[in-house]
């Protein structure tokens, strides 16, 4: 597995966020983006994923497309980027950067209401 400091990994996540077009950044509402080393057992169970899968990121919240007029007074949605699964999957530093960028875009697409297929297209299209 490749190595990278938590601070450097955080910079890659910030760089991925910075590359999101301004028209989307302006519309991000009530979202926290966090980094964890690994997904929790609860997160994997919730997604029905076994240990053989590498989860790079996770969106937890109410997509903007499902927010009605009564939406408010809620905790922020959460986008989690998982460091070690990305490091285990990457072959070099450039690939770490690319996976992080694609994962950030993918999870933000979920915030805007995209399903897995749409989020995957958004991450690749950028």
Largest Cα–Cα distance in the chain? 47
- Asked if 122 and 103 count as a contact pair (C-beta separation under 8 A), the reply is no
pTM for the model stands at 0.88
Beta strands in the chain (DSSP E): 31-36, 57-60, 77-82
- The pLDDT score that the predictor gives to residue 125 is 62
The Cβ of residue 56 has, within 10 Å, a number of other Cβ atoms equal to 19
Task: For the domain covering 6-125, report its CATH number.
Answer: 3.30.2010.20
Provide the residue-wise pLDDT of the chain in tens; the chain has 126 residues: 899 999 999 999 999 999 999 999 999 988 999 999 999 989 988 888 876 678 999 999 988 888 888 888 888 999 999 999 999 999 999 999 999 999 999 999 999 988 877 776 666 665
Q: Where are the domains of the chain?
A: 6-125
């Amino acid at each position: 597995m490749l190595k990278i400091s938590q601070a450097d990994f955080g910079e890659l996540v910030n760089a991925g966020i910075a590359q999101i077009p301004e028209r989307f950044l302006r519309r991000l509402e009530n979202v926290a983006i966090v980094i964890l080393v690994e997904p929790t057992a609860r997160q994997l169970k919730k997604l029905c994923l076994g240990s053989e899968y590498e989860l790079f990121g996770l969106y937890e919240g109410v997509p903007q497309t499902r927010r009605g007029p009564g939406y408010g007074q809620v905790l922020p949605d959460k986008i989690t980027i998982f460091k070690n699964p990305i490091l285990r999957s990457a072959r070099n530093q450039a690939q770490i950067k690319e996976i992080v960028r694609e994962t950030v875009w993918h999870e933000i697409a979920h915030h805007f209401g995209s399903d897995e297929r749409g989020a995957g297209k958004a991450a690749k299209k950028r």
